[in-house]
Amino acid sequence: MVRHCWQAALYAGYCALIQLAAFSASISVGELVLPLVMVGMAPASTTRSWLSSNASGSSSRPILVVPTGSLCSVVLNRYHALLFDLQPMPDHAPQLVCIDTPEGPCVQLRGRWGAAEMGERAQWRALRRQLAALPASAGADWSWDLRGVQWLDHVGAQLLWNHWGRAWPQRLALQHSQRALLERAARYSSAPLPPPPWRLSDQIDRLGTLVLHGLTHARQITALVGRLALDVLRLLRAPRRAPWRDMSGHLYNMGAMALPITALVGFLIGVVLAYLMSLQLRQFGAESFIVNILGVSLIRELGPMLAAILVAGRSGSAITAQIGVMRVTEELDAMSVMGISHGFRLVLPRALALAIAMPLIAVWTTLAALAGGMLAADIAMDVSPAYFAQALPRAVDAANLTLALSKSVVFGLLIALIGCHWGLRVKPNTQSLGAGTTASVVTSITMVIVVDALFAIVFKNVGI
């Protein structure tokens, strides 16, 4: 309310200055009020409607056009800047004036519509507000008068052509040189290309490209596996020349450093599973079977797979990033020049380290999950930890643990090989490094799930 009263007071003083300007310039008050009401605000036709629309938060703001050459015009411009939060615009600034004509509403252009004027931030913002204040139909349905423009170049012509929706208005008054500029802007304005038509042949070509890419990756992975097998034979033939220090470092970083996160996630998964199964088992009075369900599901499937997914996201991405950075810094090229095998010094230590660490991480994650399930079963179903520990060996056969450890070794080898594969494919730029790391994580997790499904199908009768 206070803001509206303040605006009304400012507007009353503004009208008083308008009358003073009319008296000093020997013109009528209507000649000054009409531009105030019509410029940039087509909906406002009277002072009352303008004041109510401005008080309600209308975004359209008028721009005063007064005769120059008198002291009162300067005072009016300064007061107008205070009232409407606008800086006084110079005479050469591009402006829009909306007037009513017998033929309908008309937009008159004033000032210089060039790159130099629009390059000034204040003038460009003011012009953008004026263009945005015009109705949507002003582009084609209104009249446009460009004869009052002092200067027009290709930038101004392109701006007008885009504002008109790349179509000529129905009524347009302009000079011959201005029409030539607008026609040139229309001729060289590139229309958006239509979407290509759907063709079965294009889809077949795209599918064939994907298949060829997949075969390329499969061939490179096969070559990497063969190289790893030869490096293992070389290791067995000359164990003293093996990179044991690198292998020890990778074993610590990929194995020991992964124990906290895998234990936390495994514990929470066990709690969630126990709570969800307790709701169903309690309905049938089969609370004691929670040991069987948790034991088989965690030891046989969820424990190794959950550990493999965590290691794939943690260590698989690290392997790709490390080898990819070596490609960016040209260390791989230097190793090739010195005759150092990439497979023996880079792939072999990481593959053997993950093959050794992965079964241990799987057992650790399974134990943490069983501890979480045991705690949740004790709280939700009154199944004591002593009964849980006593019934677990009878519920889960030892073959399930053997199968889980075997799967974990395969998971570790796959994660290491996939990480090394994408790392060696990285090109010497940061964009390829990021894309390779992302592809490595996604591929590793996908292959872990696929291989786990294959193990479940092949060994469906083992330990059940």
Better pLDDT: 26 or 391 = 391
DSSP state at residue 114: S
- Counting Cα atoms < 13 Å in the Cβ hemisphere of 111 gives 21
In this structure, of 131-140, 186-195, 210-219, the range with the lowest mean pLDDT score is 131-140
Share of the chain above pLDDT 70, in %: 78
Residue 365 neighbours by CB under 8 Å, 6+ apart? 262, 263, 265, 266, 303, 304, 306, 307, 310
H or E stretch including 420? helix 398-424
Angle formed by the axes of helices 348-381 and 244-254, nearest 10°? 20
Q: pLDDT tens, 399-455?
A: 889 999 999 999 999 999 999 999 999 998 888 999 999 999 999 999 999 999 999
User: Smallest Cα–Cα separation from 417: which of 324, 359, 354, 326?
Assistant: 354
CA 407/CA 398 separation, integer angstroms: 15
| pLDDT at site 66 | 41
pLDDT level of residue 381 (50, 70, 90 thresholds): confident
Q: pLDDT tens, 37-76?
A: 333 333 333 343 333 334 334 434 343 444 444 444 444 4
| pLDDT at site 261 | 94
Radius of gyration (Cα) for the chain, nearest Å? Answer: 39
| pLDDT at site 123 | 86
Q: What average pLDDT score do residues 247-255 get?
A: 92
Share of the chain above pLDDT 90, in %: 38
- 70: helix, coil or strand? coil
To 5 degrees, how large is the angle CA 43–CA 48–CA 54? 60
| pLDDT at site 26 | 40
**Most confident region among 87-96, 131-140, 386-395 by mean pLDDT:** 386-395
Better pLDDT: 175 or 87 = 175
Angle formed by the axes of helices 385-395 and 348-381, nearest 10°? 130
Residue 263 has pLDDT above 90, yes or no: yes
| pLDDT at site 93 | 85
- 155: helix, coil or strand? helix
| pLDDT at site 32 | 41
Q: pLDDT tens, 94-125?
A: 888 888 888 778 888 888 888 888 888 888 88
Q: Six-digit token pair at 442?
A: 């996604």
Domains of the chain: 1-88 (no CATH), 89-189 (3.30.750), 210-458 (no CATH)
Residue 288 has pLDDT above 60, yes or no: yes
